[in-house]
Amino acid sequence: MNFSLSTLIPYTESYFLVFSRLFFFFLFMPGLVSVFVPGRIRLLMALSVSYAAAPMVGLSPSFSLLTCVKESFFGFFLATVIRILFEGVSMVGGVLSHQSSFGNAMGSALTQETEDLFSSFCTLYFITLFFATELHIVLIRGVMNSYDIFPIGSEFVYGDVSSSVVHYLAQGFEAAISLAAPFLIFGVFYHILLGLLNRIVPMLPVIFIGHPISLFIVLTMLMICISRFAVVFSEIVSRFAEGFFA
């Protein structure tokens, strides 16, 4: 039996093209983009998943530097759209900080950027839900299905990219509003009540009295609603994966 290394060239090219897309996807995937996840871990994940995915994708029709760049951009685009959705959902923390008058307390959960404690908590909570409910498996399966929509070597339509980014940015903002709706309603009535109280009793320090009350009410509402957050968040990500990768 004669064996030549030249027979491995098409398989190597196909593997490298699959790796180009998956590497950039894992490089910017939510939860893995943290400074606490070393780059070599993301590299090993991309290498292993590419090794399993390459036979399913099949041999590539052509191999060139331009094709590698296109595949890398596809992976970057898929991860960026998912991160846009996560950033939109994480806006709930900003709403909580504003309504609880606790926005000056700063901390950091997954990044080196300083943010308020509620935003840091929500980011860490949603990332934990993302992995605990195996939604990352849903997204990885969706990325594999993306080869049916965007085969290797397909042209990238930049107009569709911009419209998709705007669409999913709006979807993430809508998800954040739906999650933060109880706190927004509380904030409206709370500030109206403070305004009326200040008019009725001008000498009363309403800010001094109102801050502890608002913090207590927001924490109580968060304790009640946090289990519902998990259900709504799972539905949002699953619906996103089904709609985007279908």
pLDDT tens across 8-25, in order?
A: 666 777 778 888 888 888
Confidence of residue 108 (pLDDT cuts 50, 70, 90): low
Contact predicate 241/139, CB 8 Å: yes
DSSP 8-state class, residue 106? E
> Over 80: is that where the pLDDT of 193 sits?
yes
Confidence of residue 228 (pLDDT cuts 50, 70, 90): confident
* Percent above pLDDT 90 for the chain: 0
Does 23 map to a domain? no
3-state secondary structure of 112: coil
Does 25 map to a domain? no
Structural domains counted in the chain:
1
Amino acid found at 183 = F
Does 173 map to a domain? yes
Expressed as residue numbers, the domain containing 199 is 68-245
> Over 80: is that where the pLDDT of 7 sits?
no
Q: pTM (2 decimals)?
A: 0.75
> Over 60: is that where the pLDDT of 60 sits?
yes
Give the mean model confidence (pLDDT) for residues 96-123: 71
Does 116 map to a domain? yes
Q: Tokens 């846009």 label which residue? A: 84
b vs e for 6-39, b when ≥16 Cβ sit within 10 Å of the residue's Cβ? eeeeeeebbbbbbbbbbbbbbbbbbbbbeeeeee
Contact predicate 165/158, CB 8 Å: no
Give the mean model confidence (pLDDT) for residues 32-36: 73
The pLDDT of residue 100: 77
Give the mean model confidence (pLDDT) for residues 187-209: 84
